[in-house]
C-alpha cells in the first residue's frame, strides 16, 4: 500500500547517526484507515491536505521525528451554530522503534519504512477543539427568537427562561465559570 505518509528509512538506520528533513503536503488517510469515530461535530477537513515539516533522526534504538504539522479542521460554533474553518498547528516529537521495543508512547518501525499516519492521527485528533467558537466575542443566538445576535438585534428581553439559565451556568474548559456555577 502506497501512501505519502509511508517513509523509507533504511538508509537513515544504516548510516547511524543520520538525519533527514521531510516536507510533506498530503491528504490524510486516503486509504480510509482512520474512519471518524461517531459524529463528532469538529472533524478534520478530509478534503484538504495536512502540511508536515519534520526532521527524522536515527539513533541506535530507533528514530526520532521532530517538527510540526498544520491540519485544517471544520466545526460548528457552539454559540451561534455557524460553520467554522480552523487550523491546528501542532508540534511533534515522537519516537519510532522496532516491534520488540514498542510501548504506548512510541510508534512502529516496519522493517525499512515508518508510517507517519498513526502519529499524525493521534496528534490531530487530540488537538481538535471540542466546543469551538467562531470568534471569542460571538454573541450567539437569541434564546427567545433565535436571531443571530452577531448580525441583528431583537427586542427580546424579559425573565430569563429557567431552562436557559441552566445552560448558561454550564462552563467549558476555555471559559471562566459563570457566576454561581460549581
Ligand atoms: Zn459564533
Ligand atoms: Zn430575540
Q: What are phi and psi of 82, to 5 degrees?
A: -80, 150
Which ligand number lies closest to the CA of residue 142?
2
Which ligand number lies closest to the CA of residue 164?
2
Distance 142 CA to ligand 1 centre (A): 12
Q: Any alpha helices (H) in 15-161, and if so which ranges?
A: 117-127
| pLDDT tens column, 57-111 | 999 999 999 999 999 999 999 999 999 999 999 999 999 999 999 999 999 999 9
- 6: helix, strand or coil: strand
For 151-169, the three-class secondary structure string (H helix, E strand, C coil) is: CCCCCCCCCCCHHHHHHHC
What percent of the chain is predicted at pLDDT more than 90? 68
Site of grid cell 474548559: 173
- pTM of the full structure: 0.76
Is the dihedral angle over the CA atoms 119, 120, 125, 129 positive or is it negative?
positive
Angle at alpha carbon of residue 64, lines to 62 and 68, rounded to 5°: 160
What residues are neighbours of ligand 2 (ion), with CB under 5 Å? 142, 144-145, 147, 154, 156
* Domain boundaries defined on the chain: 6-127, 139-182
> What's the pLDDT at 3?
83
The answer to whether the CB of 96 falls within 8 A of the CB of 106 is yes
Amino acid at each position: 500500500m502506497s501512501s505519502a505518509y509511508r517513509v523509507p528509512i533504511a538508509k537513515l538506520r544504516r548510516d547511524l547517526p543520520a538525519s533527514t528533513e521531510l516536507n510533506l503536503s498530503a491528504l490524510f488517510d486516503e486509504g480510509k484507515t482512520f474512519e471518524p469515530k461517531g459524529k463528532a461535530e469538529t472533524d478534520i477537513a478530509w478534503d484538504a491536505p495536512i502540511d508536515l515539516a519534520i526532521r527524522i533522526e536515527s539513533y541506535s534504538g530507533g528514530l526520532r521525528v521532530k517538527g510540526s504539522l498544520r491540519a485544517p479542521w471544520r466545526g460548528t460554533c457552539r454559540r451561534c451554530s455557524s460553520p467554522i474553518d480552523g487550523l491546528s498547528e501542532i508540534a511533534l516529537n515522537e519516537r519510532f522503534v522496532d516491534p520488540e521495543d514498542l510501548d504506548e508512547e512510541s510508534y512502529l518501525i516496519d522493517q525499512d519504512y515508518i508510517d507517519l499516519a498513526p502519529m499524525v492521527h493521534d496528534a490531530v485528533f487530540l488537538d481538535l477543539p471540542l466546543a469551538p467558537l467562531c470568534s471569542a466575542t460571538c454573541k450567539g443566538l437569541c434564546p427567545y427568537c433565535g436571531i443571530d445576535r452577531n448580525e441583528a438585534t431583537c427586542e427580546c428581553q424579559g425573565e430569563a427562561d429557567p431552562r436557559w439559565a441552566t445552560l448558561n451556568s454550564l462552563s467549558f474548559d476555555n471559559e471562566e465559570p459563570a457566576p454561581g456555577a460549581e
